[in-house]
Amino acid sequence: MNQSNALRTIGPTTYVAVTTSSSTAVTISASGNNQMDYCAFLNTGTTPIAITIVPVVAGTGTAGTTAFPADGASAKVVVLGVSMQQPMVLAVPPVFSVTALGTASVGLYITPVSY
């Protein structure tokens, strides 16, 4: 049995120009009276992107510097694949801060969504 889920955009798409230095923190939230639980992340570049997501609560919270995990170590990042044909949808806090780092200059699109 096939199952499909429909995503509904609930906020504007944000573009982040990702370089080899950690980006400036960007705050993402839904627009209007929508509750955001998920967000779609799309890497349009041909190199991977690492992202850091930190909740913003009562206006407080900023994602710090993003770094790829070192050999044999772990890091609190999500790594997005290259030349994505579909976005990766992740569970996120209702309002969050995100920073990104690439291995080359690429584009990252972030869209708040709801199921």
User: 9-43 pLDDT, tens per residue?
Assistant: 999 999 999 999 999 999 999 888 888 899 999 99
Looking at the chain, how many residues does it have?
A: 115
Q: What are the sequence ranges of the domains in the chain?
A: 8-114
Q: What is the pTM of this model?
A: 0.90
Q: What is the pLDDT of residues 45-104, one digit of tens each?
A: 999 999 999 999 888 888 888 989 889 888 889 999 999 999 999 999 999 999 999 999
CATH of domain 8-114: 2.60.120
What lies within 8 Å, CB to CB, of 15 at 6+ separation is 107, 108, 109, 110
